[in-house]
Structure 1
Amino acid sequence: MYRTARSSRRTFGIAVAAVAAAALVLTPMNAATAAPSAKACEQRNNNSVDKLLECVKRGGVLEHLDAFQRIADENGGNRAAGLPGYEASADYVADRLTRAGWNVTFDEFPYTYIGPSTLTQLTPTEADHETGAYTGSGSGEITGTIIAVDVVLAQPADTSSGCEPEDFDPAAFAGETDIALIQRGTCNFSVKVENAVAAGAEAVIIFNQGNDPTREGLIVGTLDPLVVDIPVVGASFAAGVALAEAGSTAFISVPQPEERPQRNVIAELPGKNRDNVVMLGSHLDSVQAGPGINDNGSGSAALLEIAEHIGKLKPQNTLRFAWWGAEEDGLLGSEAYVEGLDQAQLDRIALYLNFDMIASPNFIYMVYDGDESGYPAPVPVPEGSIQIEDLFESYFTALRIPYDDAEFSGRSDYEAFILNGIPAGGLFTGAEVVKTEQQAAIWGGTAGAQYDPCYHLACDTRQNIDAKALYVNVGAIATALFTYAYSTEKVNGVKGAKFTIGDLLPRPAGPQGTVGGSGGLAHEHGVREAA
């Protein structure tokens, strides 16, 4: 009895220390809170949250972001799949992990690279429109007449353009070379394109809907599982308006695809229980338009910095970290990885935690909505996901930091895991959605601006992050890591240590309720649906 009580008090003290350490990352380093030296951090076993965060506070996360920026600068301005910037990023992460004592492997998967596409309007005015090829597009060069298909340019631009075969006038597509101009809305892109091909279109342009600020910029998605022989490219709403003018003609070029196999970086730290694996992951690639420092250098750098400081840890459960490739092209790396596991290997994975965009400059703190209190999930939510959400919410509650729900939409690398029944959760600080007045009053920042104004743009640079949001989320990741490294009983029923830090955190205070509909929508990588 006495020993149990003493153990409880000791564990409670560790939990309080962990929360206090997490609070320290919110303040600048000074003489009173100076972190241990780099040498001390390398030599000691950082076997608690407070020890780990003392070392993380030295600024290593920001140093990794600087490294990703340098890699992009030296490789055409991006770290996109199929290009040298991604390869250099993967080598950088693998080298740092190997030196930190992790077992590092490269998980290769097939990848079809399509180079930069072109969309040039020729008449009635000349203009080069920003574009990109849809996954599943054919290649080639086409010059032809634009045929607008049931587009609605007046707001609110409610449209089902291209969703029905009847939307395509056979007489209009009887010309020599016709390009279908289709607007986003209502049905999957694959349905729109399939109907266009059946009508005789030689190419397709799908432009954004324009019905709210998040649907005005360039839209490029996936036709999966559809693959077509004709070029299919994207455009912004403004470009669509211009191309819809009477007498419009255009030139479209989609380069010939190349097979360029890509690599996920997988690092493992064996635990006493080899059959209960705790996975954490983030995508390492950027879009071709920019260096991707918030999206997703932020999640990648946070996991790398944490991993570097726990190489001497002896956890109860095996830890496995992943840096995914080709996420921006439709979650390809994580999907290929999970598809490559047999059922026994899948059964060993206790849970998966995902960190994608955790330092948005106009942030709000969000936790994946496993209990569907803010959103009905469009995908199955495996049992145990609610408990993961509760743990992250308890962390924010302990620090008296407001938080809200992020839709559990399956639009990041956790999708393949939850579709295979593996509990998942994670953190998110926002992408293209516009911050409301209510949210600005709670979290600060600028109402009327996107959570990340540089989302998928060239300006997603080292200056495009909020360091406070980044370090608050690093504390949350560390808290979850040390909880699940020692026990996943609350998630999957596998017993471990009797007490963990998570056991003694306060009950969640509850989300702020500022999101719903599209308010916390995760960013749309590989988006299939137009609605």
Structure 2
Amino acid sequence: MRSRTAAATAAAATAALALTTVTAGSAHANAPGDSPEFTESVTVDNVFGHLEQLQSIADANDGNRGAGTAGYEASAAYVEQTLQAAGYETTRQPFTFMYEVVNSTSLTEVSPDAREVEQAPMSYSQPTPQGGIEGALVAPTSAIGCEATAWDGVDLSGDSDIALVSRGECSFGQKAVTAGEAGAEAVIIYNNEEGELNGTLGGVEPTSAPATGITMAEGEALLAKMDNGTVTMSFALDKTMEQRETFNILTETSTGSDDDVVMLGAHLDSVHDGPGINDNGSGSAGILETAVQLAKVDELKNKVRFAFWGAEELGLLGSDHYVADLQANDPAALDSISSYLNFDMIGSPNYVVGVYDADESTYEAPVDVPAGSTAIEDVFTDYFDASGQPWVDSEFSGRSDYSAFINAGVPASGLFSGADGTKTAEEVEMFGGTAGITYDPNYHSVGDDLSNINTEALGIMSDAIAHATITLAEPVAPEEPGTEEPGDEESPEEPGDEESPEEPGDEESPQEPGDEPEIPEVVQTDGFGSDVAGGTALGGLLLAGMTAGAVVAIRRRSTMD
């Protein structure tokens, strides 16, 4: 079992980080790689330029960049070419996944009112039989329908029964499996907050009922009609499902200690319904430009690794595969990743500046928060506080590519500008925008194109990514010639200052056999989980706050029971 311990308090580290941000006139205040200079080098214009390229790629490839498509391949090629031009070596990590595309779908209320209902079929949902399913709506005794007992006493004896359940507490996959095993022929899941519900079952489940998502308002309207009698619905889902191969892209800096690796990740794939420029071209573009500029820093104390994940939209598949591969084949390499920073949607049109709430000061996390995550959160929040930038907590939910890392005990944090949640009046006071609508009205849709990006949000978030990266990487400042103060020169020797000749017996004793200094053993790896000759060892991340000439560190180390 690995344990993560702190060699210094989070408060001390974040205080040092704040000093790095606001202190002027220090010995290395203008040295290449210091936070203000590096942050300035990661420009919103360059980040937006990467998004323009991703938009062009989507336009040339059926309007999307989804996993397993030509659009994803072209997106990956652009990222690789950009990184290679900056001096990086890139690696593709392949894995297989279930490719799916919806050919046609519909959800209709047959009675008491005849109308079409807006819906979004769940990823990995089973298709309906040809011609669809028509039947009466049924609801569990517990609205969320997570457990089999929720269906006790519910009449599911009809030829075709369609379950109506609420989002919440358990996965969509569990709801669909539970409803299917209870006897429902399909399941409609309604949102528990404002906005559309675009979900995934997380994987193919043969026993699950075909599943789709609707808004909270639609769900409540249908429930009210059920109170007055039978509600008959029709659901049709025709789709293609087949095994395909996709990949992650990995790269890392050529300098920096392999004992301390900081990792940044963003998913590169879009949904198959649109170009995915905010979700998640924005996060990919942010870390891509950060990597390009980081290559110009001469020397880093800690290695930085960048990951562009595949198939996130189909259930976090790329990041899950990466972590699972290390767990199975090189747990020491996984143990070396002591910090994972995730960036999924950083340019939402009705944005907030959200930081993953690792300290649970606003939201109780529905997942275990690894020790050390709070200190990484503070890297972002102290930066925003020092620059006068408002920010809010974003639930530490595990609903993006940091999930596999936190499940493996790796400390994590990240930024999020909002998706299908609704903006509040208080948030409008902080960030502008419109209350009562979602942060990204074009989330998971064809409208998530270049015009969907808020460049102010993109700039704020890109600067924060740059600051966190250079702070944790710890650039090594070059020695500056001619810095001696007057009077620092060595005084010429005065007569009598010469060294006295050695007395007999003062000579150093010859080294006895076996007195040679101990050479530490180095575990060699290619940096991606495989041992190779001539490689370097990975290690635990150093989270550091730097002032001129001072470092306060939070370090994770491992012990074996």
1:42 corresponds in structure 2 to none
Q: Deviations over 1:353-403 (max 9, x none)?
A: 111111222222121112111122222222221111111111111111121
Aligned residue runs from structure 1 range 7-406, under 5 A = 16=24, 47-57=33-43, 59-116=45-102, 117-121=104-108, 123-124=110-111, 125=114, 127=116, 129-135=118-124, 137=126, 140-150=129-139, 159-161=143-145, 163-165=147-149, 167=151, 172-175=156-159, 177-185=160-168, 187-201=170-184, 203-209=185-191, 212-214=193-195, 217-222=196-201, 226-228=205-207, 231-237=210-216, 246=230, 248=232, 250-313=234-297, 314-341=299-326, 342-406=330-394
Q: Deviations over 1:453-482 (max 9, x none)?
A: 222222221111221221122221111111
Aligned-residue RMSD, C-alpha? 3.5
State the Cα distance separating 1:418 from its structure 2 match.
Answer: 1.3
Distance 1:338 1:49, change over 3 A: same
Query: Secondary structure of the equivalent of 1:455?
Result: coil
Conserved 8 A contact 1:370-1:408: yes
State the Cα distance separating 1:12 from its structure 2 match.
Answer: 6.0
Distance 1:58 1:186, change over 3 A: closer
Listed as ranges, the gaps of 5+ residues in structure 1 are 1-7, 23-44, 153-157, 506-531
Name the CA distance, whole Å, in 1 between partners of 2:474 and 2:397: 29
Name the CA distance, whole Å, in 2 between partners of 1:127 and 1:350: 50
1:37 corresponds in structure 2 to none
State the Cα distance separating 1:94 from its structure 2 match.
Answer: 1.0
Conserved 8 A contact 2:302-2:542: no
Out of 437, 459, 469, the position equivalent to 1:449 is 437
Query: Secondary structure of the equivalent of 2:132?
Result: strand
Distance 1:185 1:470, change over 3 A: closer
State the Cα distance separating 1:137 from its structure 2 match.
Answer: 3.1
Distance 1:251 1:462, change over 3 A: same
Name the CA distance, whole Å, in 2 between partners of 1:351 and 1:12: 20
Query: Structure 1: which amino acid aligns with 2:84?
Result: T
1:412 corresponds in structure 2 to 400
Conserved 8 A contact 1:487-1:494: no
State the Cα distance separating 1:54 from its structure 2 match.
Answer: 4.3
State the Cα distance separating 1:333 from its structure 2 match.
Answer: 0.7
Q: Deviations over 1:398-438 (max 9, x none)?
A: 11112121111111111111111111111112222222112
Name the CA distance, whole Å, in 2 between partners of 1:383 and 1:242: 44
Q: Deviations over 1:485-518 (max 9, x none)?
A: 1289xxx98669893589799xxxxxxxxxxxxx
Name the CA distance, whole Å, in 2 between partners of 1:503 and 1:478: 21
- Alignment length (residue pairs): 459
Conserved 8 A contact 1:483-1:500: no
TM-score, normalized by length of structure 2? 0.73
Query: Secondary structure of the equivalent of 2:269?
Result: coil
Query: Structure 1: which amino acid aligns with 2:312?
Result: E
Query: Secondary structure of the equivalent of 1:258?
Result: strand
Query: Secondary structure of the equivalent of 1:275?
Result: strand
Distance 1:472 1:112, change over 3 A: same
Query: Structure 1: which amino acid aligns with 2:426?
Result: Q
Query: Structure 2: which amino acid aligns with 1:200?
Result: G
Distance 1:479 1:231, change over 3 A: same
Distance 1:174 1:223, change over 3 A: farther
Query: Structure 2: which amino acid aligns with 1:232?
Result: A
Name the CA distance, whole Å, in 1 between partners of 2:280 and 2:404: 18
Name the CA distance, whole Å, in 1 between partners of 2:126 and 2:548: 49
Name the CA distance, whole Å, in 2 between partners of 1:322 and 1:309: 16
Name the CA distance, whole Å, in 2 between partners of 1:62 and 1:101: 21
Query: Secondary structure of the equivalent of 1:362?
Result: coil
Q: Deviations over 1:182-211 (max 9, x none)?
A: 44455543443334333433x3132314x5
**Bigger-Rg structure (1/2):** 2
Query: Secondary structure of the equivalent of 1:108?
Result: strand
Out of 499, 505, 517, the position equivalent to 2:546 is 499
Query: Structure 2: which amino acid aligns with 1:475?
Result: D
Distance 1:499 1:218, change over 3 A: closer
Conserved 8 A contact 1:486-1:500: no
State the Cα distance separating 1:282 from its structure 2 match.
Answer: 0.8
Name the CA distance, whole Å, in 1 between partners of 2:474 and 2:545: 9
Query: Secondary structure of the equivalent of 2:300?
Result: coil
Conserved 8 A contact 2:274-2:446: yes
Conserved 8 A contact 1:163-1:186: no
Name the CA distance, whole Å, in 1 between partners of 2:270 and 2:25: 36
Identity of aligned residues (%): 41
